[in-house]
Amino acid sequence: MSSDPVPTYKKKDFSSGLEVRWCPGCGDYSILNAVQTAFAAMGVPRENFVIVSGIGCSSRFPYYMDTYGIHGVHGRAPTLATGIKLARPELDVWVVTGDGDGLAIGGNHLIHAMRRNVGLKILMFNNRIYGLTKGQYSPTSEQGKVTASTPLGSIDPPFQPLSVALGAGATFVARTADRFGKHLQEMIRRAACHRGAAFIEVLQNCNIFNNGAWGQITGKQERIDNVVYLEQGQPLRFGEEGRRALILEECGQPRAVEWNDGGDPRLIVHDETRPEPSMAFLLSHLAPPEFPLPLGVLRDVPAPAFEDLHHEQIRRAEQSESNDLAELLAGPSTWTIE
Q: Are 202 and 58 in contact (CB under 8 A)?
A: no
Residues 109-138 that bind ligand TPP (CB under 6 A): 125, 127, 129-133, 138
Among 5, 220, 251, 289, binds its own copies (CB under 8 A): 251
Least gap, CB of 180 to another protein (angstroms) = 24
Distance of CA 321 to the CA centre of its chain: 39
Give the residue with the Cβ less far from ligand TPP, 57 or 91: 57
The DSSP 8-state label assigned to residue 211 in this structure reads T
Task: Give the integer Cα–Cα distance in Å for 257 and 6.
Answer: 49
| Residue 315 in contact with its own copies, rule: CB under 8 A | no
Least gap, CB of 170 to another protein (angstroms) = 16
Stretch that binds ligand SF4, among 2-10, 46-54, 203-211, 231-239 (CB under 6 A): 203-211
Among 6, 193, 257, 309, binds its own copies (CB under 8 A): 309
Residues 51-70 that bind ligand TPP (CB under 6 A): 55-58
Q: Are 217 and 223 in contact (CB under 8 A)?
A: yes
Least gap, CB of 213 to its own copies (angstroms) = 19
| Nearest residue to 26 (alpha-carbon basis) of 74, 55, 60 | 60
Residues 122-161 that bind Mg ion (CB under 5 A): 127
| Nearest residue to 179 (alpha-carbon basis) of 142, 209, 145, 223 | 223
Q: Are strands 293-300 and 254-258 parallel, antiparallel or unpaired?
A: unpaired
Task: Give the integer Cα–Cα distance in Å for 203 and 179.
Answer: 8
36 Cβ contact list (under 8 Å, min separation 6): 11, 12, 14, 15, 65
| Residue 322 in contact with its own copies, rule: CB under 8 A | no
Residues 64-103 that bind Mg ion (CB under 5 A): 98-100
| Residue 145 in contact with ligand TPP, rule: CB under 6 A | no
Task: Give the integer Cα–Cα distance in Å for 63 and 102.
Answer: 18
Q: Which residues of this protein are in contact with ligand TPP, per CB under 6 A?
A: 55-58, 74, 98-101, 125, 127, 129-133, 138
Which residues of the chain form contacts with its own copies (CB under 8 A)?
105-108, 111-112, 115-117, 139, 152-153, 155-160, 163-169, 248, 250-254, 265, 271, 274, 276-279, 281-282, 285, 303, 306, 309-310, 313, 316-317
